[in-house]
Amino acid sequence: MPTTRPTNMKHLYPKPFISSLLIFILTIITFQPVAAQCPAGSVSNAPGVYANGNVVCISTNVSGNIKLNNGAKMVIVSGGNFTGDFDGNSGSIIEVKAGGTFKPGNANNLASAITVDKSGTAIFGTGGLTLSNGFSLSNFGTATWSSSPTIGNAITITNTSCGSMNFNQNVTLQNGATLNNSGILTIQNLITDVGSKIDNRGRLTVKGDFAPKGYLKNQWQAVFLGTNNNMNSGADSIINLYTMVFKNAINGTMYVRNEGLFWFGGSLQLGTGSGIKMTRTNAQLRVSGAFTNNAAVSGNGKLHVAGGFANNGTLTGKSASEKLSLNQNMATGVTNTQYNAAMTADDTTGYAGGAGNPDVSCATLLPMVVSSLKGNYYDNAVNLTWYTLTEINGKKFDVEYSTDGLSFTKAGEVAAKGNSVERVNYQFRFTKITANTLYFRLLMVDLNGRTEYTNMITVKTTAGQQITASVYPNPFVETLDVTLILPKTSPITVKLMDMNGRTVKTQMYTGQAGSNKFSLTGLGQLNKGLFVVEVAAGEIKWMQKVLR
């Protein structure tokens, strides 16, 4: 009886191609790779100066110096490794083929147009490096920047959906510079000037600080992990269509059009003159800390604030029929809004809204049909399972984990079977339990070096260990009693915070397994208004609004 293929399978080949591929698989896997060849008429492995129409081919280790004038070309084939000083004039061309490496020593005033093919490698900045007008880079393989490049006027760098690009130090985009990403792009610190442009259709991670003044359009996934982000962006300079996450607190001025999930992991203080506009009903501005709004938030999306909310600006819905939804009830500065206390705080794990437009033109060529990753917590470990229905030249699965869903670490790897047209089951046991919630994903790798991620999953490692609590009286006057039930003995911190997120009272206790009762006293001097009680037992928290 034929097998029914699950609907959640991840197809990394176009469907018509899969059919043909399965028919001819036995023939395909018997082919031998063709040896890399230099172009006809090229000069092989010779340092020197090359003029218009000349081609130099690198097929072995070459450390001598090479200069390309306008119209000259360098081709680096499999086994070729160029490490000499390089001078590339505007109009010259470099092609790095699969298995080739371009790793120049000094490359000042570099103005060549460079293409790095799949499984090719380019490493910039091991010596001196400056980029000049005419320079461009199209990366389908692996590109690494070891120094801090200033990307100036009329320079375009493109990381395709096949590519992986890593800037190990600071990057500055000047007026007229363009950075396109459809693959995996990692940057240490990022500064963008007015007139620069970033278009992200892949996975962009800025590990350090972000200082934007130029244009940024995020069409897929962008994560900013810095702690000192200087937000001073120009009008409508940030456009988010899917998920954009700032891990830490932000204080500054920004102009944003949000059609997806725009998430601040810390507090947000939006400066005067700022503006965030949401143009879809499933768009969400999420603030995990306190939010001080001194600007204009508008549209028909959702605003979810977990901490205190001080609205000194305006909150405006699109119209009387298309309102801005708020999870906190605001009395002033609001027009065409609606209060929804039960609003869900979206996260990157399951967000399905927005207008995301990822470029998967390369990723779909990875020859594997892989099930969704699944995981469960049992016996002090997370057991991960997945399977494939088709593999062609599969190499391995890297298992990655995270404690916040943003920054991932490799936990280990599982070898792929390689070639198969039958179901192959895989599993991985993860025992490094460091948080109550863990995130997992797989990086699939084939023998050609092509990669693609599976879905990301969330696994709760303390199932059933939640706080059950209540507060009395509400409204309170002098004393507030907190009753809670704990699954085990645990240190307890009880905080009372005002709606600006300031802690006005803190008490620490030792909670016992079962029922507990604690009292916050000396509250008679507090001003009347709305407060938040937070009860924390380790990483598990419970919150309740109270009135005085």
Summarised one tens digit per residue, pLDDT across range 343-362 is 999 988 778 788 888 876 66
200 has pLDDT over 90: yes
Computed over every residue of the chain, the mean pLDDT equals 86
User: How high is the pLDDT of residue 360?
Assistant: 66
Mean pLDDT of 173-187: 95
> CA-CA distance, 369 to 143, in Å (whole number)?
28
pLDDT score, position 187: 97
| pLDDT band (50, 70, 90) for residue 24 | very low
Gap between the Cα atoms of 139 and 226, Å rounded: 26
Supply the pLDDT for residue 21: 37
Mean pLDDT value across residues 422-439: 89
Question: What is the C-alpha radius of gyration for the chain, rounded to an integer number of angstroms?
Answer: 28
Structure tokens at 195: 């007139």
Confidence check: pLDDT of 222 > 70: yes
Write down the pLDDT at residue 367. 58
- CB of 428 closer than 8 Å to CB of 384: yes
Greater pLDDT, 151 or 233:
151
Buried b (16+ CB within 10 A) or exposed e, 305-334: bbbbbbbebbbbbbeeeebbbbbbebeeeb
394-402 and 381-391: which strand pairing? unpaired
According to DSSP, the residues that pair with 311 across neighbouring strands are: 293
Distances (CA, A) of 496 to 269, 475, 490: 21, 14, 19
Cα 454 to chain center, whole Å? Answer: 14
- Encode pLDDT of 519-532 as tens digits: 899 998 888 888 88
- d(CA 316, CA 299) in angstroms, rounded, equals 7
pLDDT at 368: 65
Q: Judging by beta carbons within 10 Å of its beta carbon (0-12, 13-18, 19+), is residue 5 exposed, middle or buried?
A: exposed
Q: What is the pLDDT of residues 281-336, one digit of tens each?
A: 999 999 999 999 999 999 999 999 999 999 999 999 999 999 999 999 998 999 99
Predicted model pTM: 0.66
φ/ψ (deg, to 5) at 17: -70, -35
Least confident of 2-6, 135-139, 209-213, 369-373: 2-6
What mean pLDDT is predicted for residues 376-388? 87
Q: Which pLDDT does position 362 carry in this prediction?
A: 66
For residue 15, pLDDT over 50 is answered with no
pLDDT at position 22 is 37
Q: Looking at residue 35, what is its pLDDT?
A: 38
Residues facing residue 397 across a β-bridge: 414, 444
Indicate whether 11 pLDDT > 70.
Answer: no
Distance CA 330, CA 309 (A): 9
Task: Please check the confidence at residue 17 and state whether its pLDDT lies above 70.
Answer: no
Average pLDDT on 106-131 reads 94
**What pLDDT, on the 0 to 100 scale, is given for residue 465?**
53
pLDDT top residue among 18 and 273: 273
- Quickly state the pLDDT bin for 486 (edges 50, 70, 90): confident
